[in-house]
Each structure stands twice: as C-alpha cells, then as structure tokens.
Amino acid sequence: GQQLNQSPQSMFIQEGEDVSMNCTSSSIFNTWLWYKQDPGEGPVLLIALYKAGELTSNGRLTAQFGITRKDSFLNISASIPSDVGIYFCAGQNSGNTPLVFGKGTRLSVIA
C-alpha cells in the first residue's frame, strides 16, 4: 500500500529553537494534514492543506503543501515545552479512500 515517509523520527531541541519536519511520498496527494498527539490522548488536527504550494499558519505552526504534491513540511517557531508530543502527517489522494498516515515525529523540548 501507499506509504508516507516522515522525518526525522525523533528530535530533541532547546526551548526557543525552531523545528522543521517533513513528510514525503512516492505518490501524489490532494490533501495533506498535520496532527499532534499528546501522551495518553488522541491525535489533534493542527493544519489542513488542500492546494499544491499552499502555505498555511496556525499560531507558531506553519505547514506547506509541496509543489510536486508528493511532500509536505511543518515548521514550529520558537518552541515551548508544551510543543512536546508526536506529530503525524497524513495524506489523501483520491475519492473517498482513507487517509494514509506517517509514523510520526517525536518532539522533545529541553527547557
């Protein structure tokens, strides 16, 4: 089946630093979604992207829909301790097929 390659798998950063993570696929997607999961909870939708080249922000978070439609990027600026968690990308490519999820990037923030 389709796969999304999400990187890095984990990262440790200092509070205040900026963070970048990405998701790539060999297939084209029409929708990219980014989720965050806190320990013991379900994933929460952060940003949804619907057009190639689209750049969308949600507070300190900015995500981009890659121009090739095969990748997406999430940036977090000026990280804070509550940014800790697992970030997932997800893509959807046609009709009513289910989302394809990446395996997540685990973010740790050192105060």
Partner 1 sequence: DAGITQSPRHKVTETGTPVTLRCHQTENHRYMYWYRQDPGHGLRLIHYSYGVKDTDKGEVSDGYSVSRSKTEDFLLTLESATSSQTSVYFCAIRAGGNSYEQYFGPGTRLTVT
Binding range to partner 1, per CB under 8 A, among 51-59, 60-68, 72-80, 102-110: 102-110
Q: Are 90 and 33 a contacting pair, CB within 8 Å? A: yes
Spatial separation of the C-alpha atoms in residues 76 and 61, rounded to whole Å? 5
Least separation, in Å, of the C-beta of 42 and partner 1?
4
CA-only gyration radius of the chain, Å: 13
Distances 8 to 23, 59, 74 between C-alpha atoms, Å: 9, 22, 12
Binding range to partner 1, per CB under 8 A, among 18-26, 28-36, 64-72, 75-83: 28-36
Among residues 39 and 59, whose Cβ is nearest to partner 1? 39
SS3 at position 82: helix
Identified binder of partner 1 from the candidate list 21, 22, 25, 43, rule CB under 8 A? 43
Q: Are 104 and 6 a contacting pair, CB within 8 Å? A: yes
Is there binding between residue 98 and partner 1 (CB under 8 A)?
Answer: yes
Is there binding between residue 59 and partner 1 (CB under 8 A)?
Answer: no
Binding positions for partner 1, rule: CB under 8 A: 1, 31, 33, 35, 40-45, 48, 88, 90, 92, 96, 98-99, 101-104
